[in-house]
Amino acid sequence: MKKKISVVIFIILAVMLSAADLSPSAQVIKNNSIDGYNVIKAAAKVEWGTDHGMVLYTINKQCDSSMDVLASAFDASGDLSIFVEAVKNWSSPGKEIYNLEIIKNCLSGSSVFYDIFTMECDWSMVEYEYNNQMKAAGAY
């Protein structure tokens, strides 16, 4: 019986530890845009301090949202003007022009696509607004 309990505890711990990893989106951003990853990580640390679980959750959520909204906005059926408006609305204070310049450089090809992750914005809210505006735009 003790052996079965030990196995169950081991499985529970393994599941809990595997949940405490970077998401696939966060890994992609970290591997391809360390500067972008560091911007997202720094904002999470400012927000949550030493609550490492929430820092990790926020990093994963921001990275997942950024990848999802970028895939939607840059898709053939996406709308870059709605994306740009959402970025303007959810940029960190004083970073609107900086972020718009990054978008402009990515679109013109004067910088690599992964530079877009260095924008200082709330990616979750950019995604939320983008999705809501796209849904509304298609409703009339």
- 9/1 Cα distance (integer angstroms): 12
Whole-model pTM?
0.84
Least confidently predicted of 14-18, 20-24, 58-62, 131-135? 14-18
Residue range 34-46, pLDDT digits in tens: 999 999 999 999 9
pLDDT of the residue at 14:
43
Residue range 112-130, pLDDT digits in tens: 999 999 999 999 999 999 9
Domain limits of the chain?
22-137
Placement of tokens 């013109």 in the chain:
108
State mean pLDDT over 40-67. 98
Read off φ and ψ for residue 21, nearest 5 degrees: -125, 165
